[in-house]
Amino acid sequence: MKKNILYLKHILDSIERIEEYIRGVDYEDFMESSLIQAATIREIEIIGEATKNLDVKFREKYNTLPLRKMSGMGDKLIHDYFGVDLDAVWDTVTIDLPPLKDKIISILEEIELLS
């Protein structure tokens, strides 16, 4: 279980870094800044890789987490960098990550209470 906590914290750290990168940034700013794009994409890749390291029992217990989608987005970015859909990246960080962050925090709190 400690391994899962470590990877969940990596995911949470990456989400928080993305929040920092896009704080005060709108869609147009994001589309114009290759620096923000690159930093954001890298954190999504880290989220995808960390997701793959969560063990099977964890995946079964917390099957409401979009783990397949998370790892899939990371893979797409890693293996198809020049074909990145920046609209999809923007939607991911502005729509998908906030509720994911809440779920990760909730799971970490639950695990730490049970430990």
Quick check: 62 and 110 in contact, CB under 8 A? no
Q: How confident is the model at residue 66, as a pLDDT?
A: 84
pLDDT score of 112 = 81
Q: What is the pLDDT of residue 70?
A: 78
DSSP structure class, residue 96: I
- Name which residue leads in pLDDT, 71 or 19: 19
Q: What tokens does 95 get?
A: 């729509």
Residues 55 and 3: beta-carbon distance below 8 Å:
yes
Q: What range does the domain containing 66 cover?
A: 2-114
Q: Could you give the number of structural domains in the chain?
A: 1
pLDDT tier, 17 (very low <50, low <70, confident <90, very high otherwise): very high
CA 15, 16, 18, 19 dihedral sign is: positive
Which residues are CB-neighbours of 45 under 8 A, at least 6 positions away? 74, 77, 78
Say what the pLDDT of residue 40 is.
Answer: 97
**CA-CA distance, 108 to 1, in Å (whole number)?**
11
Tell me what pLDDT residue 30 has: 98
CA distance 12 to 58: 16
* pLDDT tens track for 70-106: 777 766 665 565 678 899 899 999 999 999 999 999 9
pLDDT in tens, 28-76: 999 999 999 999 999 999 999 999 999 999 999 998 888 777 777 766 6
**Whole-number Å distance between alpha carbons of 82 and 7:** 28
